[in-house]
Each structure stands twice: as structure tokens, then as C-alpha cells.
Amino acid sequence: MKFTAKRVAVSGAVAGVAVVAVGATVIATAADPVSPEVVSAVPADAGHGDEGKYTTGDYVLNVHELDDDGDGITTAIGPHTMYYSKTLHGSGNRKATVVKFSAGPDSDASIVFSYPVPAPGRVVDCTASGTETAPQVRCETKPAR
């Protein structure tokens, strides 16, 4: 293949656009640390109305249900446990807007995943996997039963 100035310029332009697109995605992700809502048509588990559901993997998972001011409730859930939160949509005059997760026995550990609290009538179902040093949390929003 013969390289010409035109081919080199076009290749460089295409590479430049790709770098800018990747950079914009990284910047947008860093600017908005709350993961986008993933919606499922499958209803929540029967008997758990407006409760959030959290399932842990091989490590302690800290669930932080927080309001706009960063105040709220933190619950440490042991390994291989399923926990239903009755406070997902608030308790008293405090209404949670985001659920944040950290891994390990230290409740002040770095946040590894954040997810928006769904509107009333919908619940969040989150599952942790991976390891304590490389945790993975996936959440989806489901209609309440």
C-alpha cells in the first residue's frame, strides 16, 4: 500500500476524532459519577413492595442510601447475603436520591458504584460480584409489586 500525503492526513484526522470521542466520554463519566438507570420489566420480588434489594458477593458491601445533602443511612451487608431495605424511598422527612456502594469492612471506604434512587412505585435491585479489591456492582430498576 502506497502512503500519500492525503491518506496520512485522512488517517490522522480519523484517529484524532476517535481520541476526542474517547476523551469526551471519560470526562462525561467523571463529571457524572452516578451510573445511568437501567430499567427492567421484571417486577420486584413479591412481598417487598417499595424495598431496595441488595445481594452481596464474596465481601462485605456497604450500601449508602443518601439524600441530596449526602446524609442518609449506611448498612453493611455480610458476604453472600440478600438484604431488603425498607428505607430506600426515605424515612421520616429524609428522602434518598442516590445509592452508593463501597466494599470491605470499612464503611468509609471509597465509593465503587453509584445509582439513582428510582421514583416511588419502582425499586432498585443490585447485585455485587468480583472481589473486595476489584468489586463490581450492577443495579437495575424494577416495578414494585
> 98-103 and 61-66 as β-strands: parallel, antiparallel, unpaired?
antiparallel
The pLDDT value given to residue 7: 59
The pLDDT value given to residue 46: 86
> 52-55 and 111-116 as β-strands: parallel, antiparallel, unpaired?
unpaired
27 lies in the same domain as 58 = no
Instruction: Count the domains in the chain.
Output: 2
The pLDDT value given to residue 2: 61
Digits of tens for pLDDT over the chain (145 positions)? 565 655 545 555 544 444 444 343 333 334 447 998 999 988 888 888 789 999 999 999 999 999 999 999 999 999 999 999 998 887 778 899 999 999 999 989 999 999 999 998 999 999 999 999 999 999 999 999 8
17 lies in the same domain as 60 = no
CATH number of the domain residue 110 falls in: 2.60.40
- Residue 23 lies inside a defined structural domain of this protein: yes
- Residue 19 lies inside a defined structural domain of this protein: yes
